[in-house]
Amino acid sequence: MSDLVVDVLTGAVRGGTAIMFAALGETIAERAGVVNLGTEGSMLVGALGGYALAAETGSPWVGLVAGALAGGLLALVHAVMVVWRRSDQFATGLTVMFLGLGLTSLFGAAYVGRAAPGFDPVPVPLLADVPVLGEILFQHDPVTYLSFAAAPLLWWWLRSTRGGLLLRTAGERADVLHVHGYRPGLIRGAAVVAGGALAGIGGAQLATAYAHAWFEGMTAGRGFIAVALVIFAAWRPLWVMAGSYLFGAALALAPALQARGESLNQFALDALPFLITLAILAILGRRTLRAAPEELRRVFT
């Protein structure tokens, strides 16, 4: 039994990392007042960009950078549309998702079935041998270790730096920025692009560290999950981290049980992550909405 818990938690970290990067990216965009349903698309182009460049250059690190660039570039479309062309955020995001889906299957065919070097697990010396925690946390790929730092870093950056303050103000009181000679639009656009880049890193992690393959549509809704996570985490990076692992755990539960010969309804297990997310949203309810950045509340109500 305890061994099941360890497996599920290890799986939670393994499978939650890609979602976490995307969700942290979405946190940045939403703190600046923009919802990006195109996160799913940014993850996809990141996955293809990451895998393709790893295959072409032989270095998964180059792939990771390419994934970030690709994800950011697709998010730029969303930024331009939403911030400067004032189009609707939900509809544009969904369209950007379709664009990412179309472009990646158009240009990704060549990389299906092609081998590419990826990130392999690197156990952290000493820590990896700590009972229980070592297996859950310290026997992963390098990108997963980066993700451990990403959420606290973002938390600190948003809280304690001038850049973080500007970003938050763009999401809360854009007119204040305006008075002080800043351009809220520019800050928002940059936030959306940075968010897309993080989603791209998530996609690249999925393709080059977790699945070690590229296939069209391989993100399978993880980008949408990321968007939902940000809301139930009330736009706080550390909660996003926890939420990503919770979702990863829900995903990891089915295979962990099945590999032990436990039979639970396949479709009920598949629905579980979504039901858990819904339940948490329902429980937290108004508390999350009160935490929403002011500009976002306009989008959401």
Partner 1 sequence: MTTQLTPTPVASPLVSPGSGFAAAAGRWAGALAGAIAIFSVLLLAKGADPLATLGDMVVSMTTGASLEQIVIKAAPFVLAAMAVVLPARAGLANVGGEGQVIIGAVAGAGVGLVVSGPAALPLMLVAGALGGALWAGLAVALRVTVGVNEAVTTLLLNYVALDVMLYLIYEPWKDANGSGQPATPPLAIEQRLPLLGGTAVHAGIILALLAAAAVWLTLRHTAFGFRLAVTGGNPEAARRAGLPVARLLLTAMLLGGALAGLAGVIHLAGIEFKLRPGLTTNIGYIAFLAAWLARHNPLPAVAAAFMLAAITVGGDSLQLDSGLPAATVNVLMALILLAVLGWTAKRSPS
Partner 2 sequence: MRKLTTLAVLLTLPLIACSANTTGTATAPTAGSTPPGKDSAAVGFIFVGPKDDFGYNQAAYQGSQEVAKAFPNLEVITAENVPEDDNAARVMNSMIAKGAKIIFATSYGHLDAALKVAAEHPDVAVVQQGNLITAAVPPNAGTFFGTVYEPVYLAGIAAGKATKTGKLGYVYAFPITQTIDNINAFELGAQSVNPDAQTFTVSTSSWCDPGKQAEAAANLLKQGVDVITQHQDCTATVIKATEAAGKFTVGYHADASAIAPKGWLTGSQWNWGPLYTDIVKTALGGTFTGSKYNDNFRVGYRTGENPFVQSPYGPLVDDATKAEIDKARELLKTSSPFAGPIKDQEGKVRIPEGTVPDYTTIEKIDYFVAGVVGSLPKS
143-157 residues labelled b (16+ CB within 10 A) or e (exposed): bbeebbebbeebbeb
Q: Rounded distance, CA 163 to CA 184, Å?
A: 12
**Candidate list 22, 45, 96, 143; residue touching partner 1; CB under 8 A:** 96
Residue with tokens 């306009």: 298
Which listed range, 68-76, 85-93, 180-188, 218-226, lies at the site for partner 2 (CB under 8 A)?
218-226
Size of the site for partner 1 (CB under 8 A): 60
**Candidate list 3, 5, 58, 90; residue touching partner 1; CB under 8 A:** 90
Least spacing, CB of residue 274 vs partner 2, in Å: 13
Residue 77 site contact among partner 1, partner 2, none (CB < 5 to 8 Å, cut-off depends on kind): partner 1
70-99 residues labelled b (16+ CB within 10 A) or e (exposed): bbbbbbbbbbebbbeeeeebeebbbbbbeb
Contact flag: residue 227 with partner 1 (CB under 8 A): yes
Give contact residues for partner 2 (rule: CB under 8 A). Answer: 7, 11, 14-15, 18, 105, 109-110, 112-113, 115, 118, 120, 206-207, 210-213, 215-220, 222, 251-252, 254-256, 258-261, 263, 265-267, 270
Q: Which residues bind partner 1 (CB under 8 A)?
A: 35, 37, 77, 80-81, 84-88, 90-92, 94-96, 98-99, 101-106, 109, 174-175, 177-178, 182-186, 216, 221, 224, 227-228, 231, 265-268, 270-271, 274-275, 277-278, 281-282, 285-286, 288-289, 295, 298, 300-301
